[in-house]
Structure 1
Amino acid sequence: MDKFLTSEVLPIKSVEIKDDFWGKYIDLVNEVVIPYQWEALNDRLPDAEPSYAIKNFRIAAGLEEGEFGGMVFQDSDLYKWLEAVAYSLETNPNPELMAIADEAIDLIEAAQGDDGYVNTYFTIKEPDKRWYNLCECHELYCLGHMIEAAVAYYNATGKRKFLDIACRFVDYVDTIFGPEPHKAKGYPGHQVIEMALVKLYDVTNNSKYLALSKYFIDQRGQEPNYFKEEYEKRDGVSHFLKTKIPLDLPYNQAHKPVREQEVAVGHAVRAVYMYSGMADIAAKTNDETLKKACETIFNNIKDKQMYITGGVGSTAHGEAFTYDYDLPNDTVYSETCAAIGLIFFAQRMLKLDQDRKYADVLERALYNTVTSGMALDGRHFFYVNPLEVQPEASEKSPIKRHVKAERQKWYGCACCPPNVARLLTSLGQYIYTESNDTIFTHLYIGSKADFTVNNKKVTVKQTTNYPSEGKATFVFDMSENNEFTFALRIPEWCKNYKIFINNEEYRELDLNKGYLYITREFLNSDVVEISMEIETVLVASNPLVRANAGKVAICRGPLVYCLEEIDNCKNLSSILIDTSKPVKEQYNPEVLGGAIELKASGYIVSSESQDLYTSFNVKEMPFNITAIPYFMWGNRGLGEMSVWIRYK
């Protein structure tokens, strides 16, 4: 079988982002978010839920007395923070921050057992119950995040201590689980270690780590089913509820072997993390059946289970996928972590198959749900990213209390804030991929990137005002001529575009799976320019999405827009948009540091009667509608918000 034609991401240090849109976010993470989250991990934020993370490690290391606090997987918050720190240090050296990280790593080492095991919950609270409940207790999940942080820190600093800590732990785990007869046939309840072990293999070249990742993928859902056996041994008693509950194998993506799974099911974050690991293993082992399973599941998410904002996970019950076309707006979950996991999945599929559908989904989730997950001040966060909010309902309705009308300072289960930080500090890895003789441009983000093409160094400088404008310019800097292919993604939303090379229009438009391929001998200082027409459009759902019947959303390029009460009125559901009239664009420097507002004509519905029910006699009064980018909502005080608008 021929090896897959894969492309590879660039090392973070090879890409320097210089972008008006994303530069502000990266500066915010470096200057505000990382220090703020360190305070949170140390329980130094007034009026915020405690983290317990650092305290737990100090107790586990014997440096202070006390009881374990927080969730069973609380250690992962520190690991994700350290991963974000590592990416930050790689592009923004900071000796003071490195010293803080080194102290945290020393603390992790002090908490590590002689056999390599590290987990503060089981070290402090239940030392005799290691691995007794893989389905719920997330020991392998915490290890996965440790590995990712350790690899990132080694790549950034060259320091081996954290990497050695992780390797010792993995070496111990490899003696416990695996296909050999004397080993347990377990696998993680919350996936992430599958991706992490591939990263560990890449940096160590130790094939044992790749084999362990493949084992966790291959073993999942096999009969006899490990989760069933484990469930019976603990008499079905849940770690969290302390009572017997039914075993839900689809919720844990363990109902069948992964190659036989065709629909995204269960806990959304766990699912997309697992699919990402599957794609990694498919690429490393040239596994066509695994690649096909990934393609099938990705298409199911994109075509039937993804919100227009790139969010996934329809229900708060289990933070999960439900069924095709079930996309409620007001009881939605759409966890920030799930959108980030979907970005991981899409990026890995792009490495396997350079198809714009993967980059389109990546871009949609990045520009909408991920950015929505953090306030513009870098100190408040959404766990849930709703598409419709009524503050009173969030306060008083039991089925909507998970939907916050305002971002929170911190969470007891704080997986999302550090996840946002680690994604944004590693954003350079998502702009391009490269193969032997092709550079693929997936995202339009101002940057300088260094490639090696045909064994020659090529630097590409990208400038753009995206997503406000659809123009991007690429200048090539190299010491000698080089013949290769430069591929540009033409987003699915873009219907009209032009390409120019050195100011001359390029008409040989070789479009394949949404990428335009330019193959030529490139010279130093060559300039490639793409000009994409960005239109404001009204978008409708498939009629099977019942929540959006009779409604439209407003989109402009990759951005989804929404209505906020502060710009319109109370009771946003009373607004109708007139689809026969054009939507106008207007830059407003007074809105949240400057934004392109959209102005539409419509109506507001009213009734003279105050009765709950009355004979049909509704009045429609002309109304001027204002929409702002969805990711900006919730930064101007408490109020209603809605993405989907009734139309006339």
Structure 2
Amino acid sequence: MGQAVSKDHAKPVSLKKVHITDDFWNYYINLVRDVVVPYQWDAINDRVEGAERSGAVSNFKIAAGLEEGEFYGYVFQDTDVAKWLEAVAYLLETKPDAALEQVADEMIEIIGKAQQPCGYLNTFFTIKEPDKKWTNLTECHELYSAGHMIEAGVAYYRATGKRNLLDIVCRIADDIAVVFGDGPGQIAGYDGHQEVELALVKLYETTGERKYLELSSYFIDKRGQQPSFFEAEADRRGRTTHWSNNKIHIDPEYFQAHVPVREQEAAAGHAVRVVYMLAGMADVARETGDESLMNACRKLWDNIASKQMYITGGIGSMAQGEAFSFDYDLPNDTVYSETCASIGLIFFAHRMLQLEPNGKYADVMERALYNTVLAGMSRDGRHFFYVNPLEVTPDVCEGKNKNYNHVKPVRQEWFGCACCPPNIARLLASLGEYLYSVKENTVYSHLYIGGEMELSLGAAKVKLNQQSSMPWEGSARFEVTLDQPTAFTLALRIPDWSANASVLVNGEAYAIADKTVDGYARIDRQWLSGDIVELTLEMPILRVRSHPLVKQNAGKVALQRGPLVYCLEEADNGEQLQQLLLPQDAELEASYKEELLDGIQVIKAEGLKLQFEQWGTQLYRSDAGAALEPASLTFIPYYAWANRGKGEMAVWVKERL
């Protein structure tokens, strides 16, 4: 099976070739291996007491004829199994585990028995509505579910060399190619939730079958064409809706189907769908050289990153539709910021780095990874956030104001719609893929995470051993090991949070000021085995302010140090966080607390707290006395919040000028 990646674009270094040994990240990778994946296996098998029922595994057994019963869960419940298998595949790719592989093989065997002879695989329609398959693509996620299974099949084949699941997903894709198209009797449409687009490109890369790439391109090009496919589909089925007894009303922006993808000016609609779509568009653009598709990706990237993204790398500001709202609308307390959306943003950033290595993509990838993605899972690996707010008052989000019902002050054990936990697992299990890429004779280092990487450059074998002190300190050290002297360029990303950087090569200063291109310091030389590169990044505590059009943050400031955004938490600062102020001239001091939350860097400052005299029962007063009193403020990394019980939290704090 051949690869079809163009030499004109950067290619990620394979997960098999990267071995992470990093003090910070090994905790999470080991947590996924030892806790998260076993816990999620129990969850999808309905063995976690007190958690919401999943039904995901039992659905496959029923569809396979191995059990009696009714379908349970959402129409896309199959994806929980697919993403679990994908995470398992990445773990197996980095470290053999015979017992885990056996469990996965047994699940794959069940999946194979649930597949229909034509290749169709979807337990909801097999069990519950066999006569309605492919009749409600707007709402029922058939291609979305197929896409996740295809991703799992590709990952499992790459990890183990076993074709069982790969053959299953090839039959899925072959069936889709028969069903969809512009020919007689075919469906000239696309899915309501993008995912199959990026999955088909992965399948093409693995099998070399160009029809899979062409099918992905077909779905992308069809979206947004007029007359509306979703409207016509709704008319054909009497405008019934899967989710209620009401007649369906279709908002084309929600599905990114309001105009063709190349004509979309801003990210709109369901946030996860947007970034999954963009990841697929970037993949197709990379493989076909479609410049108009590349430009569409760039345009929507710029809109998201410069006008619709939270400081934490979260996207999707609106609970209604789990969606983008409009430029600079970034509320902190009613925010949605689904964990899956930030993971999708990382997928998109990773693909943009392949199209054109530019530090701005890696900066966002790092921001989303260290903040929203890590915040989405507790330190014990058994509790998860679906929604990632930047401001929380438990009494409000657990009270009677329904505008806050989606916000949780503590992480949940599981969800009926459990897309986020297995998404976190598969991302962290595959983290090694995001560290490096190679374009021609240049090796790019995108993330500073310790470990060893090896690759071939022409006839030479190159190993890089990275030691990193991040995220707590700003240094990274690379040792080069070669089987022969080799000329190549090592490109080190200079993050947007570091105004000053320096490089030593074998202990001697290397001038990077005029050698930094698109955010990467380029070290071009003839390398010898044993060469050492040391990168030092200035890591001050930054006071970050929002664009003036972000009304919710007017007069407020947030703190960031390195890649980490910080927040106030009630456990350190007491309640009523809205009454705290940070003076503009307050000294900010960072210190490492080994005993706190398994070791974190905290930021302390002398601030102020607004205090009132005894108020009484009046709602409003014109004669109330108020004073600012000294208050010691403690900020912790945002990713670590809600690990010490229920309490208030705020990223943005009022600033006193």
Q: What is the aligned counterpart of 1:431 among 412, 435, 443?
A: 435
* Residues 352-501 of structure 1: pairs in structure 2 closer than 5 A: 352-396=355-399, 397-501=401-505
User: Which residue identity does 1:561 align to in structure 2?
Assistant: Y
Post-superposition offset of 1:516: 0.9
Deviation per CA, 1:162-208: give whole Å up to 9, x if none: 00000111111100102335421111111111110000001100011
Residue 598 of structure 2 is matched in structure 1 by: 593
CA distance in 1, matches of 2:224, 2:181: 14
Residue 540 of structure 2 is matched in structure 1 by: 535
SS in 1 for 2:150: helix
Q: Which moved more, 1:546-555 or 1:359-368?
A: 546-555
Q: What is the aligned counterpart of 2:207 among 171, 179, 204?
A: 204
* Residues 267-346 of structure 1: pairs in structure 2 closer than 5 A: 267-346=270-349
CA distance in 1, matches of 2:507, 2:105: 50
Deviation per CA, 1:133-179: give whole Å up to 9, x if none: 10100000000000000000000000001000001111111001023
Tell me if 1:142 matches 2:145: yes
Residue 221 of structure 1 is matched in structure 2 by: 224
Tell me if 1:547 matches 2:552: yes
User: Which residue identity does 1:613 align to in structure 2?
Assistant: Y
SS in 1 for 2:130: coil
Post-superposition offset of 1:242: 2.6
Rate the CA distance shift 1:449–1:4 in 2: closer, same or farther, 3 A: closer
Deviation per CA, 1:471-490: give whole Å up to 9, x if none: 00011111100011110110
Tell me if 1:165 matches 2:172: no
SS in 2 for 1:474: strand
Scaled by the length of structure 1, what TM-score is found?
0.99
Residue 516 of structure 2 is matched in structure 1 by: 511
* Residues 65-144 of structure 1: pairs in structure 2 closer than 5 A: 65-144=68-147
Q: How many aligned positions are there?
A: 646
Post-superposition offset of 1:15: 0.3
Rate the CA distance shift 1:522–1:186 in 2: closer, same or farther, 3 A: same
Scaled by the length of structure 2, what TM-score is found?
0.97
User: Which residue identity does 1:567 align to in structure 2?
Assistant: D
Q: What is the aligned counterpart of 1:563 among 542, 563, 568?
A: 568
**Contact (CA 8 Å) 2:512, 2:522: kept in 1 or not?**
no
**Contact (CA 8 Å) 1:381, 1:417: kept in 2 or not?**
yes
CA distance in 2, matches of 1:401, 1:585: 35
Residue 34 of structure 2 is matched in structure 1 by: 31
Question: Matched residues, percent identical?
Answer: 54
Residue 620 of structure 1 is matched in structure 2 by: 628
User: Which residue identity does 2:418 align to in structure 1?
Assistant: A
User: Which residue identity does 2:244 align to in structure 1?
Assistant: L
Rate the CA distance shift 1:431–1:115 in 2: closer, same or farther, 3 A: same
User: Which residue identity does 2:606 align to in structure 1?
Assistant: S
CA distance in 2, matches of 1:439, 1:190: 35
CA distance in 2, matches of 1:109, 1:86: 17
**Contact (CA 8 Å) 1:4, 1:286: kept in 2 or not?**
no
Post-superposition offset of 1:465: 1.1
User: Which residue identity does 1:588 align to in structure 2?
Assistant: K
Deviation per CA, 1:579-637: give whole Å up to 9, x if none: 11221111112210111110012111111123321125321111110000000000000
SS in 1 for 2:440: coil
Deviation per CA, 1:432-454: give whole Å up to 9, x if none: 11012010010000011111113
SS in 2 for 1:399: helix
SS in 2 for 1:79: helix
Post-superposition offset of 1:518: 1.0
Tell me if 1:634 matches 2:638: no
Q: Which moved more, 1:71-80 or 1:580-589?
A: 580-589
User: Which residue identity does 2:564 align to in structure 1?
Assistant: L
Deviation per CA, 1:316-365: give whole Å up to 9, x if none: 11111110011110100000000000000000001111111100000000
Contiguous gaps of at least 5 residues in structure 2: 1-5
Post-superposition offset of 1:455: 3.1
Deviation per CA, 1:406-436: give whole Å up to 9, x if none: 0000000000000000000000010011012
**Contact (CA 8 Å) 1:220, 1:258: kept in 2 or not?**
yes
CA distance in 2, matches of 1:42, 1:587: 40
CA distance in 1, matches of 2:48, 2:377: 17
Q: Which moved more, 1:264-273 or 1:509-518?
A: 509-518
**Contact (CA 8 Å) 1:12, 1:91: kept in 2 or not?**
yes
CA distance in 2, matches of 1:453, 1:141: 37
SS in 2 for 1:136: helix
User: Which residue identity does 1:466 align to in structure 2?
Assistant: M
Q: Which moved more, 1:512-521 or 1:81-90?
A: 512-521
CA distance in 2, matches of 1:524, 1:443: 23
Q: What is the aligned counterpart of 2:531 among 523, 526, 537?
A: 526
SS in 1 for 2:455: strand
CA distance in 2, matches of 1:274, 1:311: 17
CA distance in 2, matches of 1:320, 1:502: 50
SS in 2 for 1:318: helix
User: Which residue identity does 1:24 align to in structure 2?
Assistant: Y
User: Which residue identity does 1:641 align to in structure 2?
Assistant: M
Rate the CA distance shift 1:455–1:216 in 2: closer, same or farther, 3 A: farther
Residue 587 of structure 2 is matched in structure 1 by: 582
SS in 2 for 1:407: coil
CA distance in 1, matches of 2:418, 2:119: 26
Residue 3 of structure 2 is matched in structure 1 by: none
Q: What is the aligned counterpart of 1:16 among 15, 19, 34?
A: 19
User: Which residue identity does 2:352 align to in structure 1?
Assistant: M
Residue 250 of structure 2 is matched in structure 1 by: 247
**Contact (CA 8 Å) 2:234, 2:248: kept in 1 or not?**
no
For the aligned residue pairs, the C-alpha RMSD in angstroms reads 1.0
**Contact (CA 8 Å) 2:279, 2:348: kept in 1 or not?**
yes
Tell me if 1:644 matches 2:652: yes
